[in-house]
């Protein structure tokens, strides 16, 4: 999840975001989403939220701020979606998937042989679903290669209602599948026809492996783990330092010793958390 610094010309004009309203929104977003908005984001926030004002039939940012004060939870997901951009793709940062396919999954499947054993991966900040479905492709192939019947699932969570709606549909335009090999396209994607021409749908087998749920990472978590791996990539880049520290401590609590945490290409645990050791490019393993 990353913020952009441009104002959409399609929403130019309309109500003006006053300084006091921007300050309120900055505090609200930091408290509820963990995102720190600098002074230079004033115009971005105004441009992004004009659409929400129009969708809600509001005439001013003051009315919008009053609505947030009255019922913070009702608009939180829409607000987070409006001020951030979910940038994702299938098999983004491919070295993570190569590690999973070539080392981690073979080791896990070899050791998880007892009754009751299970495999759990969490895609935290799953955006529109490309990450968890790419993980599901790699997982499904590993299970098939070993004829494994292991209880294996992927949890995919995000705060954005729009992103989750796309993830649940599992339908994508052809220009979004460039990171998937031709072999995997044939195996895991169903091409649309007629009114669905130019679209692909993920295979039902992948859907069975992925559970998609809304979740605010700053609030309570209903799951107790443990997870074998957590993917939290390009999610915390705009979080402030105390929020990052709290979040990574919570991740450590849901991972066993030797469990893995995957971060985005511009993210690091250096100076933030010492529960993990760096073992590869933005790949961390929980210390014993």
Instruction: For 207, list phi and psi in degrees, rounded to 5.
Output: -60, -35
Q: Is residue 102 within 8 Å of residue 64, measured between CB atoms?
A: no
In sequence order, which ranges of 148-240 are alpha helices (DSSP H)?
161-169, 182-188, 204-209
Any catalytic annotation for residue 250?
Answer: no
Catalytic residue among 158, 233, 275, 285: 158
Any catalytic annotation for residue 158?
Answer: yes
Which residues neighbour 196 within 8 Å (Cβ) at sequence distance 6 or greater? 171
Neighbouring C-alpha atoms within 13 Å toward the C-beta of 237? 17
Burial class (CB in 10 A: 0-12, 13-18, 19+), 238: buried
DSSP assigned state of 178: T
Catalytic residue among 48, 52, 233, 285: 48
Torsion angle, alpha carbons of 88, 92, 93, 94, to 10? 160
d(CA 17, CA 33): 20
| Cα–Cα distance list, 143 to 101, 131, 183, 211 (Å) | 11, 18, 17, 18
Q: Is residue 100 within 8 Å of residue 134, measured between CB atoms?
A: no
Neighbouring C-alpha atoms within 13 Å toward the C-beta of 45? 25
Which residues participate in catalysis according to the annotation? 48, 158
């Amino acid at each position: 999840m990353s913020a952009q610094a441009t104002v959409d010309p399609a929403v130019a004009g309309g109500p003006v975001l006053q300084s006091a309203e921007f300050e309120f929104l900055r505090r609200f977003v930091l408290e509820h989403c963990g995102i720190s908005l600098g002074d230079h984001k004033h115009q971005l926030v105004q441009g992004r939220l004009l659409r929400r004002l129009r969708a809600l039939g509001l005439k001013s940012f003051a009315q919008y701020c009053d609505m947030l004060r009255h019922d913070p939870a009702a608009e939180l997901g829409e607000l987070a979606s409006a001020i951030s951009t979910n940038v994702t793709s299938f098999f983004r940062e491919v070295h993570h998937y190569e590690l999973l396919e070539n080392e981690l999954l073979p080791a896990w499947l070899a050791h998880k042989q007892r009754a009751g054993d299970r495999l759990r991966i969490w895609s935290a900040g799953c955006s529109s679903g490309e990450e968890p479905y790419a993980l599901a492709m790699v997982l499904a192939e590993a299970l098939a290669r070993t004829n494994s019947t292991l209880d294996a699932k992927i949890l995919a969570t995000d705060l954005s209602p729009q992103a989750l709606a796309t993830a649940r549909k599992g339908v994508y335009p052809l220009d979004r599948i460039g990171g998937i090999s031709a072999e995997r396209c044939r195996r895991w994607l169903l091409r649309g026809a007629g009114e669905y021409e130019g679209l692909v749908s993920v295979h039902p087998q992948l859907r069975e492996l992925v559970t998609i749920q809304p979740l605010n990472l700053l609030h309570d978590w209903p799951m107790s783990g443990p997870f074998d791996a957590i993917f939290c990539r390009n999610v915390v880049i705009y979080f402030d330092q105390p929020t990052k520290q709290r979040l990574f401590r919570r991740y450590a609590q849901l991972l066993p010793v030797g469990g893995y945490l995957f971060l985005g290409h511009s993210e690091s645990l250096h100076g933030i958390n010492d529960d993990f050791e760096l073992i590869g490019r933005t790949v961390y393993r929980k210390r014993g």
